[in-house]
Amino acid sequence: MISAEVSAHADRFKRLAEELELARTLFQREGICLVPDTSFFIEHDKKLEDINFHDLTERSAPPVRVLIPMIVVDELDGLKRSSSRTVRWRAGYTLAVIDRVIDSPPAPGIFALRQAIPPRGEVTLQIVFDPPGHQRMAINDDEIVDRALACERFVDDLTVITYDTGQSQRARAAGLKVKKLPTDLGEEPGK
């Protein structure tokens, strides 16, 4: 019985070591890492293929790595059934682009910008999958922060990108760098 338990623990440690090595391999690439939340893909004035990710960085650095937590993919899948036609289209379109670019997950996919002339450096998209046995947080924004914190250990420069105040506050409270994008509220109603 003890031998079986020791063997089970050894197998688990072996799987964890393999996962850690895979994470290190995937995150060895250089570049600035951006972690967009769902609001970024839905609310940005440009659709995914037209966004210049280099403009979102604080530096004019070469490679940009867009790390997409799996919870964001799941939220986008759910938004394909939104009552808003615009939200449904943007969610479906974004997922189609992600699926086309990332053809060998968990490896990143090279994302070519149509309007990036002259090219400013490589942009990759990579899904950040939940580790085996991972229990998701009750609040999706907390889950995004949790996945960003897990990635931060393996990269030099990581920024969460969002339009949401709640998401930006949660990420800042966790010690993450955040770029909260502005939303044009227009005129005050009734004025």
Q: What six digits make up the tokens of 38?
A: 């769902």
Q: What is the pLDDT of residue 114?
A: 54
Q: What is the pTM of this model?
A: 0.85
Give one DSSP letter per residue of 146-184, joined into a string: HHHHHHHTT-S-EEEEES-HHHHHHHHHTT-EEEEPP--
- 13: in domain: no
Closest C-alpha to 36, from 180, 186, 133, 187: 180
- 175: in domain: yes
- 10: in domain: no
Cα–Cα distances (Å) from 64 to 29, 102, 167, 174, in that order, read: 10, 15, 21, 23
- 6: in domain: no
Closest C-alpha to 159, from 38, 66, 45, 40: 66
Report the domain count for the chain: 1
Q: What is the mean pLDDT of residues 161-168?
A: 97
3-state secondary structure of 6: helix
List all residues 6 or more positions away from 65 whose beta carbon is below 8 Å from its beta carbon. Answer: 29, 31, 32, 33, 34, 108, 123, 124, 126, 155
- 189: in domain: no
Does residue 21 have a pLDDT over 80?
A: no
Average pLDDT score over the chain: 87
Residue 25: pLDDT band with limits 50, 70, 90: low
Backbone angles phi, psi at 160, to 5 degrees: -85, 135
Q: What is the mean pLDDT of residues 98-125?
A: 79
- 12: in domain: no
Q: What six digits make up the tokens of 178?
A: 């955040």
| CATH number of the domain where residue 123 is located | 3.40.50.1010
Full domain range(s) for residue 52: 30-180
Q: What is the mean pLDDT of residues 118-146?
A: 88
- 17: in domain: no
Q: What is the pLDDT of residue 36?
A: 98
List all residues 6 or more positions away from 110 whose beta carbon is below 8 Å from its beta carbon. Answer: 101, 122, 123, 124
- 117: in domain: yes
For the stretch 52-65, pLDDT in tens is 898 888 776 678 99
